[in-house]
């Protein structure tokens, strides 16, 4: 178990829940709803990973990098989507942003930041998936074999 990820998962769940009020307060209510749902989904990801972290086998330095990538991706996704809801940016999510728009600089910065957040999450998940411990189970002849 990784209490650090669990603690951040709970905090992000709180932020995601509070951003459920965003649709009433932002320029683009659909994007505000997307921030709310995205915050809760990323919180669940952090909670789930924190709960099974004892099954992940990696050195301290790699664990630090992996958890930072996961946290940057989770918080970044929520914060960038919420800022897009406030500014009306729609380029990175054309369905949620349909009918809205921000200046070209805001649109490009938002698109770059959401891409970076997604890349952080993806990299953190790949690093985690590659480090899950393999369980050994006894075979019929008493030798151990790797189980999946």
Which pLDDT score, from 0 to 100, does residue 57 have? 87
Q: Is residue 80 part of a domain?
A: yes
Which pLDDT belongs to residue 102? 79
Q: pLDDT tens digit string along 37-56?
A: 999 999 999 999 999 998 88
Neighbours of 4 (CB within 10 A): 14
Q: Is residue 142 part of a domain?
A: no
In-domain check, residue 140: no
pLDDT beneath 70, residues of the chain: 134-148
The answer to whether position 139 is within a domain reads no
Domain housing 10: 3-133
pLDDT of residue 136: 56
**Total structural domains within the chain:** 1
What is the structure's pLDDT at 120? 97
Q: Residue 55's Cα: distance from chain center in Å?
A: 20
Question: pLDDT at position 69, please?
Answer: 97
Among residues 121, 119, 147, which one has the least CA distance to residue 134?
147
Q: Residue 100's pLDDT is what?
A: 79
**CB contact at 8 A, 95 and 28:** no
Q: Within a domain: residue 145? A: no
144 belongs to a structural domain: no
| pLDDT given at position 91 | 80
Query: HSE on the CB side for 45, CA within 13 Å?
Result: 22
Q: Is residue 146 in some structural domain?
A: no
Q: In sequence order, what E strands does the chain have?
A: 135-138, 144-147
């Amino acid at each position: 178990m990784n209490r650090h990820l669990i603690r951040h998962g709970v905090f992000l769940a709180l932020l995601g829940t509070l951003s459920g009020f965003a649709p009433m307060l932002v320029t683009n209510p659909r994007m505000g709803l997307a921030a709310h749902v995205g915050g809760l989904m990323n919180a669940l990801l952090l909670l789930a990973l924190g709960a099974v972290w004892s099954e992940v086998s990696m050195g301290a330095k790699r664990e630090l990098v992996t958890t930072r990538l996961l946290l940057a991706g989770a918080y970044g996704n929520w914060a960038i989507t919420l800022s897009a809801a406030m500014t009306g940016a729609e380029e990175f999510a054309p369905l949620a942003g349909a009918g809205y728009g921000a200046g070209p600089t805001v649109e490009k910065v938002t698109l770059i930041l959401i891409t970076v957040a997604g890349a952080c999450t993806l990299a953190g998940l790949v690093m985690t998936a590659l480090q899950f411990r393999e369980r050994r189970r006894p075979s019929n002849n008493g030798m151990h074999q790797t189980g999946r």
